[in-house]
Amino acid sequence: MNDTLTASLSHRPFGIDDPYKKLPDERSPRDPAPGDRVTVNFRATTEKASVTLTSRGRREHLSATSLGDGLFTTDLGVVTPGEYTYTIEAGGASQSFSFTVGAWREVRSVEDVRVEATLVHLTLGLDDGSTLPCILSFPASGVCAVGFGKAAGTGLELRAHRADGRLAVRADGALLELDCSTLDVTVSRPGGTAVARGSLKFRVLVGSDLARLEARFHAGDELYGLGERFTPQNRRGKLYDVRVYEEYKEQGDRTYLPAPFVVSPDAWGVWLAEAEPSFFDLRRDEAVVTVEKLPSSPLSMSLHFIVADEPYGVTSAFVELNGGLSVPPKWAFGPWMSSNDWNNQARTLEVVRRTVQEDIPATVLVLEAWSDESTFYIFNDAAYTPKPGSDAFALSDFTFGERWPDPKGMIAECHSHGVHVLLWQIPVQKHVPEDHPQHHADEAHMSARGLGVRDADGTPYRCKGWWFTDGLVVDFTNPEAREWWFAKRAYLFDDLGIDGMKTDGGEHLWGRDLRTFDGRRGQELFNAYANDYVGAYHDFVSSKTRGNGLTFSRAGFTGAGKYPAHWAGDENSTWSALKASVQAGVSAGISGVSMWTWDIGGFSGDIPSVELYLRSVAFGALCPIMQYHSEFNAAKDNRDRTPWNIAERHGDPRALSVYRFYAKLRMSLLDYVDAEAREMSAVGLPLMRSPELVYPRARAFLHDDPHAYLFGRDLLVCPVVEKGALAREVRLPPGRWTDVWSGAEFEGERVVLVPAPLERIPVFVRTDSERASVLVEIFRGARG
């Protein structure tokens, strides 16, 4: 039993499966392993309670300690492999629960080797005398996949040689060498220096309620990646989990966009090709990768060792293995504007017209507060006759009210100014307790047809966390669900002519017994659902716009770069958030997400100072996507991040004039950004790159500037992230570099102190670039 609630007793062993937030009436740990000390917390409406523990035929009566407020705790002690049952007794009520502690099994030997044209089959001996199949393959140049307990598709042709207890396997771009006595593995780049070191000393926790599989590799001194992370780039020294999760602001090591993938500056990397939540323990020289699986899932684990000629070659190979990078339409690279306070047509058009009046370029408007927030496909305040839940609406079905009297005319006016319109979406049928006939009809149809994610008993799953609590979650693996869901939104494109959708959320699947139409269960869905959701919307938008639209998403997983674009979620208007966002953008790029951005000046809280705002604007103007956005504000003061509002609130016209300057600069760079996006995406490279990985031989020198990055192949961008700074030290990579503002040239691998007035961000261009003179002309021309 996973959840029980009676009149007098409540104990939920797994809580709600939130990976970070524990409930006061759950078990800890939720899934005990050998050597863990287990405690049981519960709630009871009595003054005294007890627990009876049964294991190996022994019964032990344990007292429960009152924690106050009806909460109790009991220590079950340190557990070893075996079956455990504990019965909670309180006030005449009793409930029994059980868990199984598995046993670790470790690979000790290579029992057999069989070589085929594209695969090597190994039979590995475990310490309990059983065996485990392992397959070596080379799915792409420079990539070796080591698959435990699972079949592998054919890859590149290989040549194998065995002698003196060693196995050497060659394929295009990679050489694998296995010492059959020590189980040590190396994967190297023939003729190169990149060498990844691992081991076949694979471990598996078998017989437990949640299986765990472990693999090992040598970590080296520095590792980068693991998705969009808001912390310093080098991941060594910490334990990271890889789990799609919404942490509202101050994310730290938690992320909406994880990837089980690390890159070494020595031009090798490791990718865990599994969707379930995993852990990368990088605290020691021997890194440990752990993935958790349900016993009903195959006990399998595929680890890819990637070697290349340079570090971003590893990223490129990872990207190509996972579907490549897609590029949005050129208009997406212009300045964007958004605010959750733009919740009616008058306010929206006021902002659009003011933008035009102020001579500020803009190419995208994002509207979040447009819908009734019950159906999320009908404009707020529209009148209509409800339809059966199976049916879709057309524009002619609505009579629009005061808030949005003429959406079609509004969108047409935006288009007349070159502004494309995106509307906000979520993958949830929100729970609406009040009377709402259309919502209830849709919800009833969704439930009756099984179009949502389901619980183990087949009933519809409802969101358990704080985000849209009790809402139904659409199952995008179900073709009928996709067709039904998008049919209701088709008129927004067909009749109104919108250009894309902001696909928010995707992080709130909790519960290991969840099920989707394609047969997957909770552990397999926690990370993968974000891509299922965004990918379905991407296909829908692309079909409706004939490839001239895009999605704008917060959550994603391995392969998210196929669905541009992404933003870094919700952040405060603080200097620390600015610094964290720079790091997040670079880390996202290392991990295969290129079309990335953040909310200029911060999303949340009071408006930023003029200084913070303009430093953010300069950084945003040289990000893959440039956009400002702010949360809904119930207070009377206007907290929009529009440049004129910042200027008026602070009485400082520079907020407006400098924003205008950078918006125009961005438009002047539109051809450069679009061309770089297409050319770099074609080879799996992100627009934002870490200088120390692009120039690994100088990484010790470049490492001391964690907030510089390369934008495209030619520009070195050095955001000013310190309050009150008037100048900035720039660490120039190897080669020769030209200051785009002054035209001065410098030899690389030196520190240059450059002026950084409020209206200027230090930027340098590679002097030997074919576009150096054009880029210098753009920047210097923008200054007038």
507 tagged catalytic:
yes
Q: Which two tokens stand for residue 280?
A: 């990368």
Q: Reduced to 3 states, what is the DSSP secondary structure of residue 294?
A: coil
Q: Are 10 and 2 in contact (CB under 8 A)?
A: no
| Residue 658: C-alpha distances to residues 550, 652, 667 (Å) | 29, 11, 14
Q: How many residues does the chain have?
A: 784
The catalytic residue among 570, 674, 714, 739 is: 570
Q: Which two tokens stand for residue 234?
A: 């080098």
CA distance 589 to 404: 39
CA distance 578 to 686: 20
Q: Which residue has the tokens 């060693």?
A: 166
CA distance 405 to 396: 13
Q: Reduced to 3 states, what is the DSSP secondary structure of residue 575?
A: helix
Q: Are 136 and 119 in contact (CB under 8 A)?
A: yes
Torsion of CA 602, 605, 610, 611, to 10 degrees: -60
CA distance 282 to 584: 19
CA distance 178 to 129: 21
Q: Which two tokens stand for residue 85?
A: 């049952």
Element (H, E) at 754: strand 751-755
Q: Are 560 and 534 in contact (CB under 8 A)?
A: yes
Element (H, E) at 446: helix 437-448
Q: Which of 25, 38, 65 is nearest to 49 (CA)?
A: 65
Tell me the HSE value of 698 on the side-chain side, using a 13 A CA sphere. Answer: 16
Q: What angle do CA 310, 313, 318 make, to 5 degrees?
A: 145
Q: Which two tokens stand for residue 228?
A: 């969009």
CA distance 754 to 404: 49
504 tagged catalytic:
yes
Q: Which two tokens stand for residue 158?
A: 């290989």
Q: Which two tokens stand for residue 527?
A: 């990370």
The catalytic residue among 368, 504, 532, 674 is: 504
Torsion of CA 773, 775, 779, 784, to 10 degrees: 50
DSSP 379: B
DSSP 732: P
Q: Reduced to 3 states, what is the DSSP secondary structure of residue 689?
A: strand
Instruction: Respond yes or no on whether the N-terminal peptide bond of residue 565 is cis (omega within 30° of 0).
Output: yes
Tell me the HSE value of 447 on the side-chain side, using a 13 A CA sphere. Answer: 15
The catalytic residue among 507, 524, 532, 674 is: 507
570 tagged catalytic:
yes
Q: Where are the alpha helices (DSSP H) in 608-767?
A: 610-621, 643-650, 654-668, 670-681, 691-694, 699-702
Q: 10 Å Cβ neighbour count for 153? A: 11
Which residues are registered as beta bridge partners of 163?
166
Q: Which of 510, 513, 554 is nearest to 530 (CA)?
A: 554
Q: Are 592 and 226 in contact (CB under 8 A)?
A: no
Separation of first and last alpha carbons in the chain: 71
Q: Are 261 and 242 in contact (CB under 8 A)?
A: no
CB under 8 Å to 66, separation ≥6 — which residues? 47, 48, 49, 72
Q: Are 304 and 264 in contact (CB under 8 A)?
A: no
Q: Are 567 and 715 in contact (CB under 8 A)?
A: no
CA distance 375 to 367: 16
State the catalytic residues: 504, 507, 570
